[in-house]
Structure 1
Amino acid sequence: MNTNYIEELNKSQCAAVTYNDGPSLVIAGAGSGKTRVLTYKIAYLLENGYNPWNILALTFTNKAAREMKERIARQVGMERARYLWMGTFHSIFSRILRAEAQYIGFTSQFTIYDTADSKSLLRSIIKEMGLNEKTYKPGTVQSRISNAKNHLVTPTGYAANKEAYEGDMAAKMPAIRDIYTRYWERCRQAGAMDFDDLLVYTYILFRDFPDVLARYREQFRYVLVDEYQDTNYAQHSIVLQLTKENQRVCVVGDDAQSIYSFRGADIDNILYFTKIYPDTKVFKLEQNYRSTQTIVCAANS
């Protein structure tokens, strides 16, 4: 076990790693060592009274999760690292949903539809309803439904939303709300969820079953989120459900580069983090290890 890794950190990295008394926001530009901060922070927690299964670390790619786990294993040993709850939002939440499926009317064997599956289901619904596929392009319909789900809007909420309906009318697609309702029901009948459902149903599970939420709050004593600028409203809301009570949350992000806005990523999540968690300590990693200062200034501007 390597405990002298703290010495490898600069002053601001070290402060971010060792502060664990409340919510923290680490603002880190490209090349400023944010993955190192996250990795060492988890190792530090493991050495300071946390069990690996009490730590939830959410990333955006499986690759990022895998690399971080390997790095942590080098610090604290593979045996401890493998019990961490570390992975993408979708992989972690599907694991939770499989364990708690009966609460939300699914079985633990539910199928996960990929983009192609959900597109082909939408195509057949559009056909059944006798709608013109040139107007109701499955891809467009899919992205409207996906956008609704990313904002935690279910078919009932969507149908009742005047603004959404006016938007659909303007796009000459007034039937979107009916398609959404059918699509939702058909997925349920088939015992299937699409990627967005993995977030929606996790949120619903925690919202409607406080005892289940309490169990996971107790289990995840510390929650860390990478690339927080790329979270959407649904992801942010679930993190809030889990951490509102104990406030043990650390998010790392770059307020200058959100790449997932097409997926509903909401940069406000990072900008308003300190309003939602008023006791947040903010750490800025200003030092860049990959590029010269000139390049960094040019990139930031």
Structure 2
Amino acid sequence: MASEVQADYLNELNPPQREGVVNTEGPTMLIAGAGSGKTRVLTYRIVHLMRHHNVDPFNIMALTFTNKAAREMRDRIEKIVGNEAKNLYMGTFHSVFARILRSEASKLGYPSNFTIYDTDDSKTLIKQIVKEKNLDDKLYKANVVYNRISAAKNRLVSWRDYINNPIYAEDDASNMRPEMGKLYQTYVTRCFNAGAMDFDDLLFNTNVLFQEHPDELNKYQHRFHY
């Protein structure tokens, strides 16, 4: 029966897609346009690992950009392999990293039930900080400050690195926002003291966790073989 199911899903693929599914060892990069079947290839690659190579779903991590893609992948996999699909560590980058951070939060000084601020929460906090610092809210608009902090975090630039970087300082000064670095620092401190992370922190702090705690990185590397 398993071989019949295997044949069914492989027969749905064209030759390049099939190659992406069956070549399971080592890194594989798929480059294709929208609607060309990348999600299908990733889905069937996971099925192939479980069905053909007997890989425990506990040892597979699958990351997507959207919740919709994650749901579609899990549903497709479950139709072929059954309830085993529930053991896959699958979701968006943010949801999977949030799960990791909740397990390891204490190592970064956060409670395991830390709050996740959405964009509105973050902008509200920024407005409060700007007001407390008596800064011009027309220059330091919440949206502008939020985007600047978000861009820094997505480049893995901490507030300390930001403040000590002359390029950022010069850029902020030229835009008449010389206090941007201090705003970044205060924003991060206030979030930490509130036991909260914003969306960007879910990515940024996972990187911090693995950089500062190589034992944790090693643990997850040994768990997730694929």
Which bracket does the TM-score occupy, shorter chain normalised?
over 0.9
Judging by fraction of residues, say which structure has more helix: 2
Q: What does residue range 90-105 of structure 1 map to in structure 2 within 5 Å?
A: 90-105=94-109
Rounded Cα–Cα distance in structure 1 between residues aligned with 2:139 and 2:21:
52
* Structure 2 counterpart of 1:70: 75
Q: TM-score, normalised by structure 1?
A: 0.72
- Give ranges in structure 1 of 5+ residues lacking alignment: 223-301
Q: CA deviation at 1:49?
A: 2.6
Q: What does residue range 189-268 of structure 1 map to in structure 2 within 5 Å?
A: 189-222=193-226
* Structure 1 counterpart of 2:62: 57
Q: CA deviation at 1:172?
A: 0.7
Q: CA deviation at 1:31?
A: 2.5
Q: Give the alignment partner of residue 150 of structure 1, picking from 130, 154, 171.
A: 154
**Count of aligned pairs:** 221
* Structure 1 counterpart of 2:6: 3
Secondary structure, counterpart of 1:25 in structure 2: coil
Rounded Cα–Cα distance in structure 1 between residues aligned with 2:218 and 2:168:
34
1:88-132 residue CA offsets vs partner (Å, 9 max, x unmatched): 011000000000011000110100000000000000000010001
1:231-280 residue CA offsets vs partner (Å, 9 max, x unmatched): xxxxxxxxxxxxxxxxxxxxxxxxxxxxxxxxxxxxxxxxxxxxxxxxxx
Judging by fraction of residues, say which structure has more strand: 1
- Give ranges in structure 2 of 5+ residues lacking alignment: none
Structure 1 runs of 4+ with >2 Å offset: none
Q: TM-score, normalised by structure 2?
A: 0.96
Q: CA deviation at 1:72?
A: 0.6
1:161-196 residue CA offsets vs partner (Å, 9 max, x unmatched): 111111111111010001000001000100000000
State the identity %: 52
> Which gives a bigger RCO, structure 1 or 2 (Cα 8 Å, sep 6+)?
1
Rounded Cα–Cα distance in structure 1 between residues aligned with 2:117 and 2:56:
34
Rounded Cα–Cα distance in structure 2 between residues aligned with 1:154 and 1:32:
38
